[in-house]
Amino acid sequence: MKLIIFTNKGIFCPQGKFYIDPWRPVDLAVITHGHADHARWGMKKYLCHHFTKPILYIRISEDIECQSVEYGETVNINGVKVSLHPAGHIIGSAQIRLEYKGYVSVVSGDYKVQDDGLSTPFELVKCNEFVTESTFGLPIYNWLEVEDLNKKLQNWVLRNKENQKTSVFIGYSLGKAQRIMKAVEGLGKIHVHYSIGKLNEAFEAVGIDLPEYEIPDFRESVKHLQDEIVIVPPALLDSNVIKKIPNAATAICSGWMQVRGARRWRSADAGFAMSDHADWKGLLQAIKATEAELVHVTHGQTEVFSKYLNEIGIQSDVVETLYGDDDEEETEKEIIKS
């Protein structure tokens, strides 16, 4: 039985006649989460988790037709039982479980098994067929515990204060920025770029408390930011915005910082391996626990990771998709321009 097939529009369920995270316009799109490469404009109708709905309104349009459900709630779509289960990636992120005539497929979207304290923690869903990402699907990617990573961010801020430096963190507006805010809460005033403040509204709309923050107008003087904490999206790295901030020390928060930081972000003063994706151990932990008979590997280290799965006895293949971090960064740029 083929409960999901991979098409030039995205992942398609032929029995249910709907797509999951399609990248071209379709009639019904079931959305795993609100990042731009998974939730795109142009669908006639969207289905997502309650927490993702305000994100789609902010990032796409308030005029879209969007149905939202709770985790574990079953929706029958043309005879296919569809339910959403926590993916642990960002708020509202979901694995999409499909069941038809006793066969179960799970499309995980992006996920992580660490509990970051903001996202609903990852839930194991057993299935016959599993679609996994592999963004960090190499053994070199091994994340610190969240508490240990947060301590590193806190110590960096404290050192900057001692040296009369302004701590400037660079992280995606949705997910990463809010984790940074929680990590440095209580160490000083937090100032965020408009694009981050806009998405903070989505957190607040569903009752998730964030630390107090201000949104400075970077078109005006920002001398008052001296010695404080500023969070901006990646598109502003090396921009005039950061150059205006007095005595800025910059830190990139990205999983790539574990090994590629010096090459990818030469101009930053520091790098912290903070990721909303599963590391090598997390990917293997999740995949093995599903007991899936077939695993499809999408974006990231696809060839290497799929080969390894086959070598350890898990049938796997590589599937081409249009998902990836670069699209998210492009959307950051669009928000900033708007």
Residues 75-119 have pLDDT tens digits of 999 999 999 999 999 999 999 999 999 999 999 999 999 999 999
Backbone φ and ψ of 160, nearest 5°:
-65, -40
Domain boundaries, the chain: 5-140+277-337, 146-272
Provide CB contacts within 8 A for 88, sequence distance 6+. Answer: 111, 112, 113, 114, 115, 116, 119, 120, 121, 122
The 10s digit of each residue's pLDDT in 220-251 is 999 999 999 999 999 898 888 998 999 999 99
Q: Do domains 5-140+277-337 and 146-272 have the same CATH topology?
A: no
Model pLDDT, residue 259: 79
- The pLDDT score that the predictor gives to residue 260 is 60
Q: How far apart are CA 64 and CA 222, in angstroms?
A: 37
Residues in Cβ contact with 151 at an 8 Å cutoff, skipping those fewer than 6 apart:
none
Q: How far apart are CA 36 and CA 15, in angstroms?
A: 27
Task: Tell me the pTM.
Answer: 0.94
- On whether the CB atoms of residues 32 and 93 are closer than 8 A, the answer is yes
Radius of gyration of the chain (CA): 20
Instruction: Give the Cα separation of 169 and 88 in Å (integer).
Output: 22
Burial 296-333 (b: 16+ CB within 10 A, else e): bbbbbbbeebbebbeeeebebeeeebbbbbebbbebbe
The rounded mean pLDDT for the chain is 93
Residue whose entry in the numeric block shows the structure tokens 């006793």 = 102
Whether the predicted pLDDT of 263 surpasses 90: no
- State what percent of residues in the chain have pLDDT above 90: 88
> Is 5-140+277-337 in CATH node 3.10.580.20?
no
Taking 60 as the threshold, does the pLDDT of residue 333 lie above it? no
- For the domain bounded by 146-272, which CATH number is listed? 3.40.50.10890
Cα separation of 291 and 293, whole Å?
6
| pLDDT tens digit sequence for 141-161 | 999 999 999 999 999 999 999
Distance CA 1, CA 99 (A): 11
Q: What confidence score (pLDDT) does residue 205 get? A: 94
Residue 325 in this model has a pLDDT that exceeds 80 = no
